[in-house]
Every structure is written in structure tokens, then in C-alpha cells.
Structure 1
Amino acid sequence: MASWPEVTTAKSENRHEIKLSGAAISKRISEDGLDKSLFQLTNINLLNISDTCLTIIPDDIKHLVNLQSLLLFGNKISEFNEHITSLPKLKVLDLSRNQLTRIPESLNKMKELTNINLSSNQIAEMPKIGDMLNLITLDLSNNKLTSFPDMEEANFPHLTDIKIKCNLIETLPGYVAKSLQSLKNFDIGDNQLKTVPGELASMAKLKELNLKGNKLSDKRLMKLVDQCRTKQVIDYIREHCPKSDSAPPTGKSKGKKGKKQEEQVPDDNISELCHSLKILHVEDDTIKVKIEENEVWNIRPFILCCVISNLKFDEVKFKKFIQMQTKLHDTVCDKRNIATIATHDMAKIPPGDIVYTAKPPKHLKLIPLSRAKAFTGEQLFQQLQAEAESLRKEKKRNVYSGIHKYLYLLEGKPKYPCLQDSQGRVISFPPITNSDDTKMSHESKTMLVEVTSHSSLGSCKTVMDKLLHECLLLGVADEEEGPYHTLTVQQVKVVDMEGNLKSVYPSRTDCVFEGAPVKVYRLPKK
């Protein structure tokens, strides 16, 4: 059988991504099965076989040792092939909308995973889940789970999003609060819960809690849940829901008093012996980001911004700042697979709102960082590809370095994401580069920070929180050296093209630095 044209093209052009989707692919699979030469493409980072009649994942999947993203959603797969768990670099695993009934314990071998999506299957039980130090999102929605996955005593330092709605779960164990301390979004709606453990109220970073559609026996709690008031729900749980390992709370007034004392004691002890983060409320004249959702929704839909003012760089401190940004791209951003950071000198951005959109490669034009002339997106991609190949041959290595290693994130995309200033000038081209026109320097006084992601808004928040914390520790806004520093951050709104609010950062639930000597001051609107 002749190789499929998509496989032949990927091989001849040394592509890092391959997508096989839809009715035409489904027909080929039903007639002859998958093209076996697909599994000879050992350099690919992303494999997408979706919305087809595929029923079996071939054992040859084990040969794709450089895979970072495996997207097999919308097929008819009934068995989880354990050879998947031997893929050493896999970060994103999407087997949603299939017919899986069980997940093997060997899932725990996959320590590099950042995103797991097993939603809309027939899974009745999950294996015990051990430490997953890189996991950010877990989606088990629309399955047949009768109990919450056993995650007790495991470590999930970056797990911010769990979706487990539309199952048959009857009990939520109290240990989830201890095991999932980084959780920000918890969706356990449409299950069979009758009670909620009081431990949930100790999850300090929890921003969104969905308990709708359960069979809660506490009618007042049910009413709060139906009104979608997350803060009130958590407050009520704190005061009225017993912890799974203790007696019920003794009363509302005492609970409030206890809470107040608990909040005040650390403040009195810390006094001024801590870092200070001042968050300014968004003002009417604050720059806004307008997002063209219909353009970016399937390319890179998530963005957050904020403004850091009163910067006091010198050349040494600025070099450390750039090194810190590079380190974050390699760590919390997972080499830009999860999110990308861009920083701009506000003095070089004209007044007016910024637009986040996407353009065909030929129509996107900017002067990339450290380049002397303007390129279209298409020209820059080709230029970087040529440079990468030249460097690879020169160094006789089969890997790319520097900015070139991120090219596969855009390969084959019909449009590229970008930010435009009020004059229509492109100032950012994530995840590759931003414009030399708004380049930061040691003389910059005010900085626009932008974080974009294709995975989730929670990922943007995690990265932005980490960036602000590192800027604070570095003392980018302090002239004098000392043990404690101050940083002033202005909120920025992201709105749709009609002006409807999509997000604001930092919100009241952001910048919670547990265990760190940081005092956050949220200053009211003038």
C-alpha cells in the first residue's frame, strides 16, 4: 500500500506535526487501516488523529519517542494501549470522546504529562494516581466513575484544573484539600454528592467551584450553589460543613471570629519584614486588551496582561531579568508548550487599546526582536527554519536550539496569533517573538506583561503569578539593595470586541503566595 500523502509530506519536509482528521481519513482507515509508515516519523512532536473510525491504537505507537502531544479524540477507541505509557516525552494526552472503559496503572509512569483529557468515555474506575509533578489539567468529565480518583498522599504542585462533572460520584474525600493545594478550578457538577467535606474551604487558591446538579442534602448550600456564588459557597462550607476527620463546626459567629484571628495573626507577625506587592485597581484610562475570539479560539485562545510600573533597572539587574524570563519559559511554561511570556516597554506603545487576533502568515508583519528589518509571518517562519537547519548541520546534531526549537508550535497553522497596538502595528507574535519596536531595555520604566496559552486561562494565571513573584524577589523596582522589595502592578482587562469583560489580572484570587514572605496590598479604585 502506498504511503498516505500527509505522511509522505511530513517525511519529505521533516515536519514536527501531523494531523489526520475527518471523513476522508476515516474512510481510508476503514478500508486499509492506518498507514504503517506513519510510525517511522520518529521526529514528530505532535500526532493528531481525530474524528475518525479508529478503533485500535497500534503497538507501533511506541516508536514515536519524541511525541510531546498525542491527540486521539473523537474516535472509537475502546482500549488504552499501554505502549503509550512508554513515550518518554509525552506532555499532552487527549483521548476524549472515545469508548475507553479502563485506564491502566502504568499511566503513573508518564511523569512528563501536563494535560490529561479522558472525558466522554465509559470509564468506571481510575487507577490510584501517584505523584505527577508537571500535571496542570485533568479532565475526566462524562464518564461512569462512582468514586473520586484515589490521589491521597500524592504530589501535584502545578495541578490547577480538575473537571470531573457528569459522573456518578457519591462521596468527595476530605484529603483532596491537602493533595490539591494548587487547585484553582474544580468542576464536580452533575454527580451524586449529598455532602461536601469542610476541608474544601482550606483550598486557598480555589477560584471556581462547581457543585451544581448534585443531590446535596443541605438546602441552603444547594441554593448558594445554584446561584453560582463561589466565594459564598466556600464561606458556607467553612462554617457549616463538617470536616471528614472531625466534629461539625460549633457555630457561625465563632467560625467568623476564628477566621478573622487566623487572618490577622500572620500580618501582625510579619510587620514590615516582607516583600510588598501593590495591586492597583483597573481605571477607566488603563490600557485594555480586546480579543477577537472568532479568530483565536482554535489557535491560541487565552491571554492575560498586566502593567508593572516604577521599574529601576540597571544593566546587571536587567540581564538577570532576561535570564529569569528565559528560565520561566523552560520551566513553568514547559518550553512554551503551555504558555509564552512577552514583555514590552509601555513608553513605546501608543495610547489606545490593544487587539489580540490572528492573521494569515502572509498578512502578519513585524520587526522581530533583534532583527533589523520587517518580516511577514511566513517569511520569518521560513527564515528561522533555514537558520535552524543550517545550525543543526553545522553542529551535527539532530536537535534545534534557541528560538528555532519552538517552530513546530506553528507548523501547518493557517493563521498566526498576534497583538496589534492602536495603530495596527504588530507588537507580539506568540509563541515565537515580540516586536523590536517595543523591546525592553535597562532604561525602561513601565512594562506591559503579556502571557498567552493554547491550553487554559489557568495556565496563564499560573505563569503570570510566578513571573510577578520572581520580579518581586529580583527587586526590579528598587533602587537600593536590601532583603525585601516592593512591586507595583496595574490590573489590565481583557474584553471582547463588544466590550464585555472576559478576564482581569490580577484578580482577587490571583497572587496568593503561600509560605512566602509577601504582603499583597489591593488598592481601591481612585
Structure 2
Amino acid sequence: MGNTIAPRIENAEKTGVLQVSGLKLKKVPEQVKHLRNLRSLDLSNNKIENIDPWISVLKNLKVLNVENNKLKCFPAELYLLTKLESLNGNSNFLINFITPGAIVNLNELSCLRTVNLSHNYLTEFPVELCLKSIPINVIDLSNNQISIIPNAIASLQAIEINLNSNKISIISNGIAQCERLKVLRLEHNCLRLENFPTELLTNSQVSLICVDGNSFNMKDFYNLPGYSKYMERFTAMKKKAA
């Protein structure tokens, strides 16, 4: 394995890009900590169970891809990757976003644009990301076990939230306060019509709401107060995209 990694490390020293995907790695190679100018780290399709705290020394890292590994959480030191733009933790064993019990403030992640934590075992919405200072464009939490969208959602800066195929049954009214939110995907959850916050229809910026596959008839959804106002935003969005 060392012979396989060595030339990749050498190349990464020159390019700032390290790709060690599909090498059956069980941990992040120690040599990586010396790549202080690394901008992109692809660890996908391995068997990594933990990311060591020393990941924080990679101050120039913009892209971290750990898709399809065995991670159960990310280290609290993630907050020190202040240039991070893309985080892909899709298809792991994530039960928690950040190490349980860790006191962490992700305020410094002011460059973070995309977060993919889909196909994991998260039971709680990652409220650590609900900060005004994190300008996320897209957060994908589909195919998890999340049941509640909490009050903290009001501070999330995402333009698109994908929560398809979870167990969502309760949504905080605060979601209507998301200043940048345009697209909300809630297909195949456990929502009842009486628990849907009509503020999303009447008083939000959301122009696309996907709710097929929940515990109500779509015809009843169309009759909710404010649906016509939502459709005005939806139609305007379609015209703008045409």
C-alpha cells in the first residue's frame, strides 16, 4: 500500500490535489498531514472509520471527499478548515455530524458552499451548520433517519435543502425565516398535513416545495391556506429559468 500512496503524495506536493480513492485504507495516511498546501483531498471508497484531529493542519483544504467509508462522525477540529468549500460524507455510517459531546463552533467555515451527508444514519438535523456565517448553497441530508426540523433551522443559509427519504414528522415554523431558501425537498417522509407549516407557503422565499410520498393527499395540500401565493413564486421562478 505504501508503494501505491508514495507517488500520489509526491504528486500532491506539486499539485495540491490528493486522490487516494478505492485503496482499502482504514485510516487517513499519516503522510497527508505534511501536505500543508493541499487544496483537495479525495478519500472516497475506502474503509476509514475515523478522521484524526490533525486534519486541522490542512489550512488550505477546499474540498474534502470521504464518500463511501465507515465514518460515524466528523472530528470537532473540522471548524479549523476555514477555507473548506465542499464536504462530501455521503454513504458512511454517520450517527452524529460532529463527535458527540464536543463543544464546537463552525462560525469560521465562511467558505462552505456544499454539504452532502446523504445515505447515513443521522437522527438529528446537524444544527452546527445553522449559522448566519456559513453561506451554504446546497445541503443534502436525504436518506437518513431525521424526524424533526428544529427551531435552529431559521439561521440556516442554504438555498436548497434535500431531506427526501427521512422520517420527518415535525417542522419548525422557523424554516419560513430561512433568508436564502428557495428549494425544499421533503419527499417520502412522515409528514401529516396538520404539521406542515403554512408559513412556508404564505411568508417565505421558497419557490419549490416537494412533498410527494407523505401522510396526506396532495389534493389536500393544494388546498392549504397560502398555496396560491406559493404558486405565484413557483411560476415566477419557472419564467425566470426559461
TM tier, smaller: 0.7 to 0.9
Q: Partner letter of residue 215 of structure 1?
A: C
* TM-fit CA distance, 1:100: 1.0
CA root-mean-square deviation: 3.2
Equivalent residue number for residue 163 of structure 1? 140
Output aligned runs, 1:34-113, within 5 Å: 34-36=4-6, 38-41=8-11, 42-113=13-84
Kindly indicate whether the alpha-carbon contact (under 8 Å) linking 2:43 and 2:67 is maintained by their aligned counterparts in 1: yes
* Alignment-derived partner of residue 110 in structure 2: 133
Matched, 1:193 2:168: yes
2:145 alignment partner AA: L
User: Separation in 1 of the partners of 2:208 and 2:110?
Assistant: 31
Does the CA-based 8 Å contact 2:149-2:168 persist in structure 1? yes
Tell me how far 1:101 sits from its aligned partner: 1.5
Which residue in 1 is equivalent to 2:184?
Answer: 209
User: Is contact 1:100–1:121 with CA below 8 Å preserved after alignment?
Assistant: yes
How much does 1:157 deviate? 4.4
Which residue identity does 1:141 align to in structure 2?
S
Paired letter, 1:169: I
Distance 1:256 1:506 in 2: 18
Query: Would you say how many aligned residue pairs link Structure 1 and Structure 2?
Result: 208
Q: Give, in angstroms, the shift of residue 68 of structure 1.
A: 0.5
Answer yes or no: is the 8 Å Cα contact 1:135–1:156 preserved in 2.
no
1:72 alignment partner AA? L
After TM superposition, the structure 1 = structure 2 runs for residues 246-325 of structure 1, keeping only pairs within 5 Å, are: 252=225
Kindly provide the CA deviation profile for residues 62-82 of structure 1, in whole angstroms up to 9, marking residues without a partner as x.
Answer: 111111111111122222133
Tell me the equivalent position of 1:239. none
Q: Which runs of 5+ in 2 are unaligned?
A: 99-103, 197-205, 211-223, 231-235
Which of these two proteins has the greater Rg computed from alpha carbons? 1
Higher relative contact order (CA closer than 8 Å, sequence separation 6+): 1
Distance 1:208 1:167 in 2: 19
Q: CA deviation at 1:233?
A: 4.2
State the Cα distance separating 1:138 from its structure 2 match: 0.7
Q: Is 1:172 aligned to residue 149 of structure 2? A: yes
**SS in structure 2 of the partner of residue 99 of structure 1:** coil
Residues 1:220 and 1:144: Cα distance change in structure 2 (over 3 Å): closer
- Give the CA deviation at 1:120: 0.4
Distance 1:54 1:33 in 2: 13
Runs of 4+ in structure 1 over 6 Å off: none
Unaligned runs of 5+ in 1: 1-28, 222-229, 235-250, 260-280, 282-502, 509-526
Distance 1:66 1:188 in 2: 35
8 Å contact from structure 2 (residues 91, 119) kept in 1: yes
Partner of 1:495: none
Asked if 2 retains the 8 angstrom alpha-carbon contact of 1:129 and 1:154, the reply is no
Give the CA deviation at 1:201: 2.1
Q: Decide whether the 8 Å contact of 1:59 with 1:83 is kept in 2.
A: no
Change (3 A) 1:39 1:252: closer
Residue 85 of structure 2 is aligned to residue 114 of structure 1: yes
Shift of the alpha carbon at 1:164? 0.6
Match of 1:151, SS state, is: helix
Aligned to 2:193: 218
SS at match of 1:50: coil
Residues 152 and 64 of structure 1, relative CA distance in 2, 3 Å threshold: closer
Q: What TM-score results when the alignment is normalised by the length of structure 2?
A: 0.74
Q: The residue matched to 1:186 in structure 2 has which SS?
A: strand
Q: Which amino acid aligns with 2:90?
A: S
Equivalent residues of 1:118, 1:139 under 8 A apart? yes
**Structure 2 CA distance for partners of 1:203 and 1:151, relative to 1, 3 Å:** same
Cα distance in 2, alignment partners of residues 156 and 58 from structure 1: 32
Contact 2:129 / 2:156 at 8 angstroms: preserved in 1?
no
SS for the counterpart of 1:206 is coil
In structure 1, the partner of 2:213 is none
Q: TM-score, normalised by structure 1?
A: 0.36
Bigger strand fraction: 1
Percentage of pairs with the same residue: 26
* 139-148 or 196-205, which deviates more: 196-205
Is the contact made by 1:43 and 1:66 (CA closer than 8 Å) also made in structure 2?
no
